[in-house]
């Protein structure tokens, strides 16, 4: 099987949702909110997709300034193809699109926590998350 990696190739909401279901990410992504999924695709700064023919089998979706920070917000690979190197290649192609000082930053799914350290990532416990329904305290 020859996987084709594409930079910023069009990915439809249906293709993305289908891949999220075939990976482990559907349980943590708004797959029932089409407008949100479409916005996630439309507003990504960088999308690397992996294709087996015309079937989307992997995606790395990032928001980045290309110079300092790249937030890898989705890394999804079809569960039947996991551990075949597709995820690593998606990250490597992502990294090659970035400037020499740009860091990859991500939040790992609990089941994928052990995946990243052997690839060279450093664990950082200083991340903070504010849910959308929580207002910034001390503001009007």
CATH value at residue 39: 3.40.630.30
pLDDT tens-place values along the chain, 140 residues long: 799 999 999 999 999 999 999 998 999 999 999 999 999 999 999 999 999 999 999 999 999 999 999 999 999 999 999 999 999 999 999 999 999 999 999 998 877 888 999 999 999 988 899 998 999 999 87
Strand boundaries in 26-90, DSSP class E: 46-52, 55-64, 69-77
* DSSP-assigned beta bridge partners for residue 81: none
Domain that holds residue 91: 4-119
**133 part of a folded domain:** no
Under 8 Å between Cβ of 70 and 30? no
* Planar angle of CA 54, 56, 60, nearest 5 degrees: 140
**135 part of a folded domain:** no
pLDDT of residue 1: 72
What single-letter DSSP state applies at residue 84? Answer: S
Cα(first)–Cα(last) distance of the chain, in Å?
56
**96 part of a folded domain:** yes
Under 8 Å between Cβ of 109 and 26? no
**44 part of a folded domain:** yes
The CA–CA distances, whole Å, from 37 to 18, 108, 124 equal 11, 19, 28
Number of independent structural domains in the chain: 1
Which token pair is 117? Answer: 């350290």
**99 part of a folded domain:** yes
**32 part of a folded domain:** yes
Report how far residue 129's alpha carbon sits from residue 135's, in angstroms, rounded to the nearest whole number.
12
**132 part of a folded domain:** no
**136 part of a folded domain:** no
């Amino acid at each position: 099987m020859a996987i084709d990696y594409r930079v910023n190739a069009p990915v439809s909401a249906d293709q993305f949702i289908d891949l999220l279901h075939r990976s482990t990410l559907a349980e943590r992504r708004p797959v029932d909110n089409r407008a949100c999924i479409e916005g996630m695709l439309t507003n990504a700064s960088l999308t690397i997709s992996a294709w087996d023919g015309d079937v989307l089998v992997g995606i790395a979706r990032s928001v980045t300034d290309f110079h300092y920070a790249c937030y890898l917000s989705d890394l999804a690979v079809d569960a039947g193809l996991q551990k075949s190197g597709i995820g690593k290649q998606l990250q490597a192609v992502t990294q090659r699109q970035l400037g020499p000082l740009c860091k990859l930053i991500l939040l790992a799914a609990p089941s994928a926590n052990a995946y990243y350290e052997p690839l060279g990532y450093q664990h950082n416990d200083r991340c903070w998350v504010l849910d959308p329904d929580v207002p910034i305290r001390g503001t009007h």
